[in-house]
Amino acid sequence: MNNFEFLNPTKIIFGKDVEEHVGKEVKKHSSSCLLHYGGGSIKKNGLYDRIVHSLKSEKIRFIELGGVQPNPRLSLVREGIKICRENDLNFVLAVGGGSVIDSAKAIAVGVPYSGDVWNFYSGEATPEKKLGVGSVLTIPAAGSEASHSSVITNEEGMLKRPLNMEMNRPSFTFMNPELTFTLSKYQTACGIADILSHVMERYFTNIKNVDFTDRLCEATMKTVINNAYIVSKNPKDYNARAEIMWASTIAHNNLLSTGRIGDFGSHFIEHELSSINDVAHGAGLAIIFPAWAKYVQEKLSEKFLQFAVRVWNIDQNFENPKETIMEGINRLESFFTFLGLPTKLKHIGIGEDNFNEIAVKTLYGRNGSVGNVVSLGKDDIINILKLAE
């Protein structure tokens, strides 16, 4: 096991109706805020009214900025920064999913900075200060509610880039599983694919003697898979929604990274699928992750064998371990298909013509490779895309 430091300061407020107290929690940090949200789901399901009521009852001065798109765009971030500066707002409250929270995080680092906020995402500058950020989570998926990341798409060149730093972690997040009842089957499935991928990115490591975190990863994956079947039959099953929601935060708050090195190569490839075709992140991962697994399994064969046996309950073929490994990967792919997700690039209209562009964009500004556990160059990325064709 590697040495590690772990601190996750995000306060989690979890359960039925918890969001009614959001005003009180914001008040602990600021008497004003930018209320940031997405394309309107929170207005349809009544959440917006409850949040506004809670802010008003605590006399918090707020200005709202909706319209965050999935795969959040830099232009709206710039607009948010301008609004905060002009109105002297000191806090950003994100109500939505990963896209809204990531956009809020970007606004928060951009406000006190005199340069262009994209400099942080391109690696040209590092934030030193930021506004506080809190969230009311409406979709378990990206894990942004407690993660150290924010991922933004720059419309100029359509590059999608993460900004990873401890300072990015929100101060608090409200998580009411009932808020996820209105998610469509597809959005639920995208979230599940992202959650599983966050765990698998950490699980497939070459660091030895990490049994405790291996087993935490396996518990998280099995919980998500088992409860996904329940939710697919009954989208309003509170307990199943609650299990998935809590697992989604744990999957990406770095607890599962302690003592080990994760990979994240497939995440970086997926980000550029989303940037050229606007596919939902989880759907892109359902395509890329199994292809990545097939491409690298020989380098991490022991872990892939363990994955097949412990996560998918496959009886090990001792004479032909490769067969067990491939069965594990195929079961993952079939699970994504069961959820209604695409598992091939052709399902989302991406063909061989796009492969070079995806590989070049993935590697742009990254010294020629991605992936910490298995380093991938341009040819490797193209080979993975071919396996996903």
| Binding residues for Zn ion (CB under 5 A) | 194
The listed partner (Zn ion, ligand NZQ, none) that binds 254, CB under 5 to 8 Å by sort, is none
Pick the stretch among 69-77, 234-242, 312-320, 332-340 that binds ligand NZQ (CB under 6 A): 69-77
**Backbone angle region of 72, left / alpha / beta, with phi > 0 → left and psi within -120 to 50 → alpha:** beta
Residue 103 sits in the site that holds ligand NZQ (CB under 6 A): no
Pick the stretch among 85-93, 188-196, 202-210, 231-239 that binds ligand NZQ (CB under 6 A): 188-196
* Residue 148, phi then psi, degrees to nearest 5: -95, 15
The listed partner (Zn ion, ligand NZQ, none) that binds 132, CB under 5 to 8 Å by sort, is none
CA dist., res. 97 & res. 145, Å (int): 8
What stretches of 253-309 show up as alpha helix (H) in DSSP?
A: 265-277, 281-296, 301-306
What Cα–Cα distance (Å) separates residue 362 from each residue in 181, 264, 273, 274, 297? 35, 12, 9, 11, 21
Residue 249 sits in the site that holds ligand NZQ (CB under 6 A): no
For the bound state, the minimum distance from the C-beta of residue 202 to Zn ion, rounded and expressed in Å, comes to 12
For the bound state, the minimum distance from the C-beta of residue 171 to ligand NZQ, rounded and expressed in Å, comes to 15
Cβ 249 vs Cβ 143: under 8 Å: yes
Instruction: Supply the DSSP symbol for 135.
Output: E
CA dist., res. 336 & res. 75, Å (int): 33
Residue 267 sits in the site that holds ligand NZQ (CB under 6 A): yes
Instruction: Report how far Cα 86 is from the mean position of its chain's Cα atoms.
Output: 31
For the bound state, the minimum distance from the C-beta of residue 172 to ligand NZQ, rounded and expressed in Å, comes to 16
Residue 138 sits in the site that holds ligand NZQ (CB under 6 A): yes
For the bound state, the minimum distance from the C-beta of residue 244 to Zn ion, rounded and expressed in Å, comes to 15
Site string for ligand NZQ, 288-327 (x = CB under 6 A): ----------------------------------------
Residue 188 sits in the site that holds ligand NZQ (CB under 6 A): no
Mapping DSSP to helix (H, G, I), strand (E, B) and coil, where does residue 370 land? strand
Beta-strand ranges (E) seen in 101-158 are: 132-137, 149-154
For ligand NZQ, the closer of residues 253 and 324 by Cβ is: 253
Query: Taking the alpha carbons of 73, 78, 83, 84 in that order, is the dihedral positive or negative?
Result: positive
Tell me which residues in 328-367 interact with ligand NZQ (CB under 6 A): none
Cβ 139 vs Cβ 97: under 8 Å: yes
For the bound state, the minimum distance from the C-beta of residue 142 to ligand NZQ, rounded and expressed in Å, comes to 4
Residues that bind ligand NZQ (CB under 6 A): 38-42, 70-72, 96-100, 102, 138-139, 141-144, 147, 149-151, 179-180, 182-183, 187, 190-191, 194, 252, 267, 271, 281-282
